[in-house]
Amino acid sequence: MFRPRLLLTSLAIALGACSPQDPQAVTSAALAQQVILPTYSRWVEADQALASSALAYCQGKEDLAKARDAFHAAQKAWAELQP
């Protein structure tokens, strides 16, 4: 019975000691907000444009050059996410 209380108390103290001002946490949050999320958003937009372009091409409403450009844009957006 003593060990679970000690464990819970230790865990509460350890979690309480974690502050949002931790330099690694601040850096990680800034990296996520300023780099990763915008890059993923660009990738999503490029993929949606590619899907629309491919559909238009298959329906004969768009030429191959525009569909190819959409593919290259989506590929470039994906490549920006790679390490």
Enclosing domain of residue 72 = 22-79
Identify whether 51 is part of a domain. yes
- pLDDT for 34 beyond 90: yes
Identify whether 8 is part of a domain. no
Identify whether 4 is part of a domain. no
Domain count, the chain: 1
Identify whether 73 is part of a domain. yes
The predicted pLDDT at position 15 comes to: 62
Identify whether 43 is part of a domain. yes
Identify whether 12 is part of a domain. no
> How far is 52 from 74, CA to CA, in rounded Å?
12
Instruction: Note the pTM of the prediction, 2 decimals.
Output: 0.67
Instruction: Encode pLDDT of 36-46 as tens digits.
Output: 999 999 999 99
Instruction: Encode pLDDT of 38-68 as tens digits.
Output: 999 999 999 999 999 999 999 999 999 999 9
> How far is 33 from 21, CA to CA, in rounded Å?
16
Residue closest to 68 by CA, chosen among 81, 76, 44: 76
